[in-house]
Chains A and B, each alone.
Chain A
């Protein structure tokens, strides 16, 4: 269980999170949605301890995460922009992270899944965007943690990899993991998400299932439902 209590975050004068309260129960796929700059990434980074909130607290399984670091052993994170030290090759990167976190054999399986074998000896700086994203995905899923955070997992992926990713996500869910996803691709959300969290101006605007959202906005199509929220609030 993850809970955010009264979370405030400002960057300079720009208020990003504004008294955000959110509780998520374990298990299932949660899509975090919202327009650009609504605080999705900030929310995720706060959970990871990379961004430190001005106010409020975050608890994971009733443990406050402030100034802690061990809890990150139980989180897998896929960053939005896959940037890696360019002077390493793919294999070295995997080995290094295994050194850091230990306990895994899953990497081979994942490399297989995303067909990364030919790139293992390549320098990370020479990889294409999509391949980097695949490497990123392998890094994320290889540790089998109960909490998985995916920030824009689909960016740069070809359709086959996309399908494999969806399968993978479903598979991970079936293990009882909690999976956070932020994305702008709505049918991806519609397909995989059990629960939607809609962020607007630093607050939770909506939390519930896809169908609940459709009901609320009286739209049949999910994408239109989202658009309705946005146009209503920006009109």
Chain B
């Protein structure tokens, strides 16, 4: 029995015996390609500091670990994809990948992963890339602590930072993505988490998200992106503690929600956006304990939005708290704090005695005739807004917050 056990242990250890292949300019193995060819399952490839001008490296069905020591530079010389991977159980760490070429026909990426499982891409620095990490039909991957940047100038000539397509159980966390087309792109990606990422100065969206269900976005920062964050055609999304900031521009918004059902937005901050949330065809969404600060429009609701609840949010110094078109459709505004609320609280229960009407007459007018926006902040508008507040005629009578809070909600 004991013998059998030791034989088994021996076999196992043999099986697991992992060799390390070191790559450096002076080493026996001087290119990464060579190292990968030699490697077998379980091997580690250690790339020493240096500059490696390589592209088109493929890893097929090899469970290997690639580790960069001292951030070795892998220069693609603008010629195409650097790593193409189709494997399970592998990882890439600590590389500095630069100069992925641009192409209008192929989607060149720093790291391309197809039909893979159980992998980790972490602590890499990707610069001047077309796509950063491009993942298709894969699962159980972790993309974390990467810094991805490029200098995207036109949408048509640029790629996304982390691009996922038809994947599940992915984690994208702690990445810093700047100056790409979209920071993080999800299409048909389910049961995944995007957390603690910073997406800044991207040409189009900080996060672009379509046909992906049961995902969570937590603690991300989306700042100064061309058009903000777009979340479309998805179900059961959780968005907690994100910061949407400075998405200023003529066609920009903090968060675009289009055809979203059963989502929950909690503890997010929308600050300095042209439009905080642009909701279009969203149903059964709970917006609670969010801050809307200094936005052009805090919330703009378009089209058929049913059964949404806006409660316990703080609306602070927005030009318009709410723009609304169409019917109320059982959307509820309750217990929010509105900084432009001028009512009183005689019974001192912390709830204003007069209901608050979040839609000003001017925002109603602008909705009907967008050009009227040119009268923004004029005395006449102040006057009609005031008179509408005193005796509402035009704005929907049942669109009220019956329990406006007297104090800012702390969460």
Q: Is A–B contact present in the complex under a CB 8 A cutoff?
A: no
Interface residues of B (CB under 8 A from A): none
